[in-house]
Amino acid sequence: MTNPTETISPDHNRTPIAIGGLGGSGTRVFAASLQYAGFAIGSTLNDPLDNLWFTILFKRRAWSHDVPDLADIAISVDLFQRAMTTGLAGNMTDKEADLLDSLASDLVPKGPWKCGVQAGKVDSLITSGPQTGGHGQPWGWKEPNTHLFLPQLNEQINGLRYIHVVRDGLDMSFSNNTWQADHWAHHFGLKRPNRRSDPVQQLRYWIAANRRAIDYGQRHMAGRFMAMDYDDFCAHPDMHWPRLQRFLGRPSDTPIPDGFIATTSIGRSKSEDLSIFPNDLLAACGALQKEVDGLAQVET
């Protein structure tokens, strides 16, 4: 049976699609799926296919210390949507231009902020012209941190669809990719670590961040939200690929390209000492994983 949360009408098949999740969750394969489906996902990307314009506008140094005002998030959403469609060249106020200059001054090598993008990439945002996404081609993006700003993105981008990628919580707790837990813990009411997050802090973040995204998607994005279990997608692509294609507005029998799915680091927690986790944390992890599995019901 198909989950009604992700059943999408044909009228929505050309609306934007965003992809997010914790860093290291396997979002890259879904970004590649967008490209394969003909979506424009941006021209300024890194190797994992993150949209670096989104990184510039949303992974701000100031926001790693304080939860941003909604008005400031709204400005970033507006700039990002315009950059991805009409372009920003000759289409910015002095205040917006000053903001981008300020963000560039924070980024390495001009400033100290290391968030996966360098200051020079801001120029491509400032000089962006009309994009194919603004001329009939469906558009979207992948940037793991998207989930933090999902409510504001949903409110401002008409018809936005969202794929939230979830990877096994215990595996993720032992991941070396701790950037989000290190910098965004306070966005979820968690204590910000003074140093690199340990596995217990990572798991707390995994629960809090995925819980918020899934709850919001279910309540406010009916027909436009998909939760995807990366591990199960890799294990059973013959079941999950058709489900993904339907969400993208493509025929469910669209073939999987050869070599498209390559599993990495699945099961890393099996060799670790799980006794470091409090029982209540393990129970919360198991309950959320079970819920994700339930959301990922596919047609049989």
Number of domains comprising the chain: 2
> What pLDDT score was predicted for residue 2?
47
Q: Are residues 241 and 280 in the same domain?
A: yes
The label of the residue with tokens 């120029």 reads: 123
Kindly report the number of other CB atoms within 10 A of residue 210's CB atom: 26
* 154 shares its domain with 257: yes
Last residue of a domain, one of 99, 117, 137: 137
Question: Which domain range does residue 96 map to?
Answer: 40-137
Q: What is the DSSP letter of 223?
A: T
Return the pLDDT at 134.
63
Tokens matching residue 11: 């009228």
Last-in-domain residue among 137, 172, 200: 137
What pLDDT, on a 0 to 100 scale, did the predictor assign at position 5? 55
Examine the domain organization and report whether 77 and 152 are in the same domain: no
The domain boundary residue, chosen from 106, 137, 168: 137
pLDDT at 6: 55
What's the average pLDDT block by block, 10 residues per block, for the chain (300 residues)?
48 82 95 96 97 98 97 98 96 98 98 98 97 84 98 98 97 96 97 92 98 97 96 92 95 91 79 96 97 70
Q: Where is 226: in which H helix or E strand? A: strand 225-229
Tell me: do 237 and 182 sit in the same domain: yes
Reference 58, options 47, 71, 73; nearest CA is: 73
278 shares its domain with 289:
yes
Non-local (6+) Cβ contacts of 29 within 8 A are 230, 233, 260, 261, 262
Question: What pLDDT is stored for residue 135 in this prediction?
Answer: 72
Q: Is 134 helix (H, G, I), strand (E, B) or coil?
A: helix
87 with 135: CB under 8 angstroms?
A: no
> Partners of 225 in the beta sheet?
162
Q: What local confidence, expressed as pLDDT, does residue 71 receive?
A: 98
Question: Which residue do the tokens 């903001």 mark?
Answer: 99
Are residues 275 and 127 part of one domain? no
* pTM, rounded to two decimals: 0.94
Query: What residues contact 53, with CB distance under 8 A and at least 6 apart?
Result: 42, 44, 80, 83, 84, 121, 124, 125, 128
- 88 and 145 co-located in one domain: no
Give the CATH number, domain containing residue 234.
3.40.50
The answer to whether residues 191 and 298 belong to one domain is yes
